[in-house]
Amino acid sequence: MSEILVTGATGNVGRQVVGQLLAAGTAVRALARVPEAAGLPEGVDVVGGDLSEHGTLEGALEGAGTVFLVWPFLTTEGAPAVLEAIARHARRIVYLSSSGVDEDAERQTDPINQLHADMERLIEKSGLEWTVLRAATIASNARGWAGQIRTTQVVRGPDMAATAVVHERDIADVAVRALTDVGHVGATYVLTGPQVLSRAQQVHTIGEAIGRPVSFEKVPVQLARQQMLADGRPPALVEALLAGVETRPASNLITSAVEEITGAPARTFRAWAQEHAEEFR
């Protein structure tokens, strides 16, 4: 079997995909900008490369028949060249997208969903066999609250529409099957957790997991913008994140895709919080 190349291999989802492929005995190659700092398990072929410089991908793609793609940018600039490079070597691609994408809409509700919709269209036109995984809010995003929870027991930030938060391991479970089984070619799967949760409910659940009360305090968008910029986040990223606060519609969508594909029910956010409790204490 040709190797599977995993991009975003040091991220929350990508690291899970790498680990599960390795455990299954699948030949896996991990793309990293700094291979020596990747911290991936022994047995993983860690190769250097950067999606922002498509010329660095040729060596990483040599011998790779399938690619797991996480696109870490806010626009599709550079994506056509990356997809052309992938198509020169691989035959299949599995793309991590967003459950917020509305394929019937001319324009999406916010820049991040628009990015994913644009990427999906490029991938469909690439000539590659493809599978799209549209994930709801990923549970590991809550790690961004750890500092506030440890120091003040209050999470302050802009509120977002509630969503059926999905465990990154469930996304990886589905991704591994899509990467290794041809039966998923041409499919788009919407992956959610089993329960729609607001940010306040997520924070409360983390508090229960660590054994002390934690609360969520909604911050106006303008104040959130000032704080995020003061923290050093890129202005374009700040605007993209905050656009979703004001325009993303509420969704009660819960799917059974995780269980249908993996045979196991989707994990709860409570289970995630219990697994990661030490990070918040």
Q: Domain range for residue 78? A: 3-136+167-191+253-266
Three-state SS at 273: helix
Query: E strand or H helix at 251, and its extent?
Result: none
Q: How far is CA 67 from CA 38, 80, 97, 228, 257, in A?
A: 18, 15, 14, 33, 21
- Asked if residue 221 is part of any domain, the answer here is no
* Domain total in the chain: 1
What's the pLDDT tens digit per position in 117-171? 999 999 999 999 999 999 999 999 999 999 999 999 999 998 888 999 999 999 9
Q: Which long-range contacts (CB under 8 A, 24 or more apart) does 97-102 make?
A: 97/132, 97/133, 97/134, 97/135, 98/134, 98/135, 99/134, 99/135, 99/136, 99/163, 99/190, 99/191, 99/192, 99/251, 99/253, 100/134, 100/244, 100/248, 100/251, 101/134
What's the pLDDT tens digit per position in 268-280? 999 999 999 999 9
pTM: 0.94
Say which CATH number the domain at 16 has: 3.40.50.720
What's the pLDDT tens digit per position in 8-66? 999 999 999 999 999 999 999 999 999 999 999 998 999 999 999 999 999 999 999 99
